[in-house]
Structure 1
Amino acid sequence: MGKKVRIADASEVPEGSAGEFVAEDRVIALFHVDQQYYAMDGVCPHAGGPLGEGSLNGTVVTCPWHGWQFDVTTGKHCLNDRLCHPTFPVSVEEDGIYIELPE
């Protein structure tokens, strides 16, 4: 089991949107899709773009810098199955949204 870290209030990421947060020393992109929250590494592996600032269409986020697309539920790149971006388990608790980071 990893380390549980609070990253946001539920009100900070409305349904159908994304946000960028910092947990420990990592940038985290948090997405709110179909009443579920998903978290992934917030730095695009292509050129370091901010995935939490990308456009969200269903479960697909598009990096605002160069258009790389990832499924936020799995971390998989939409055109290349060999590319899988790190994701993190998310839990919603009374005092906010938490993710689980590896130790």
Structure 2
Amino acid sequence: MPEWVKAAQVSDIGPGQKKAIDLDGLAVLLFNVNGQYYAIEDVCTHDGAPLGSGRFNGTSIACPRHGARFDVCTGKAMTMPAVEPVETYPVKVEGNDILVEVEL
């Protein structure tokens, strides 16, 4: 059953920034897009590479291996060679805490 897990604090991720986190063995990337927070699984659906070291620009992140881009708000694969979306997770803010809903 999914549960809300504290992933970071609001002050950890400024606008236009990302943060890689480990939620009990699940690699997740958190993004701040103009004050809205989004979370995706930190893995490229093309070859399994971590996306965390990829370039984050606006609302997309590029895989550092082959350049596939993903929309961080929806998980949608935007460019080849990826065709499958990345997993997205619900995010909410309570006070200064950023919570992500995941199944652990």
Normalised by the length of structure 1, the TM-score is 0.88
Q: For 2:52, what is the secondary structure of its paired residue? A: helix
Higher mean Cα deviation, 52-61 or 32-41?
Answer: 52-61
The answer to which of 59-68 and 81-90 deviates more is 81-90
- Mapped to 2, the partners of 1:94 and 1:63 lie a distance apart of 32
Distance 1:44 1:79 in 2: 12
Name the structure 1 match of 2:65.
65
Say which SS state the counterpart of residue 11 (structure 2) adopts: helix
Q: Which amino acid counterpart does residue 91 of structure 1 have in structure 2?
A: K
Partner of 1:92: 93
1:59, distance to aligned residue in structure 2 (A): 0.5
**Contact 2:46 2:84 (8 Å CA) reproduced:** no
On the 8 A contact 1:31/1:37 being kept in 2, the answer is yes
Contact 2:60–2:72 (8 Å) recurs in 1: yes
Counterpart in 1 of 2:21?
Answer: 21
The CA distance in 2 between the partners of 1:96 and 1:52, in whole Å, is 21
2:7 maps to which residue? 7
- Mark the runs of 5 or more structure 1 residues left unpaired by the alignment: none
Cα distance, 1:31 vs structure 2: 0.7
What's the offset of the Cα at 1:95?
4.1
Moved over 6 A (4+): none
The match for 1:50 is 50
Structure 2-normalised TM-score?
Answer: 0.87
Is 1:101 aligned to residue 86 of structure 2? Answer: no
Is 47-56 or 86-95 further displaced after alignment? 47-56
Instruction: Tell me the number of residue pairs that the alignment of Structure 1 and Structure 2 aligns.
Output: 103
d(CA) in 2 for partners of 1:66, 1:59: 18
- Cα displacement (A) at 1:56: 1.3
Q: CA deviation at 1:82?
A: 5.0
Percentage of identical aligned residues: 39
